[in-house]
Amino acid sequence: MLKIVGLLLVAWLALMILGAVLKGLFWLVVIGAVLFVATAAYGWGKRDDVSR
């Protein structure tokens, strides 16, 4: 499960970089950042559940 979360984090990071590099695609940076934070929070919560 955490491998999938890690893969998603890398994908969102790539999306943010792509949006920053390509002119006029600032919305990709915003969407990538929101999805990155949401996935990181979800992964953090799942990590705590596994250790209990």
Q: What is the dihedral of CA 37, 42, 48, 50, to 10 degrees?
A: -140
Q: Report the alpha-carbon distance of residue 47 to residue 19 in Å, rounded.
A: 29
pLDDT the model gives residue 52: 53
Residue type, 12: W
Q: What is the mean pLDDT of the chain?
A: 84
Q: What is the pTM of this model?
A: 0.74
Q: How far apart are CA 25 and CA 7, in angstroms?
A: 23
Predicted local confidence at residue 37, as pLDDT: 93
Q: What is the pLDDT of residues 28-51, one digit of tens each?
A: 888 889 999 999 998 888 776 655
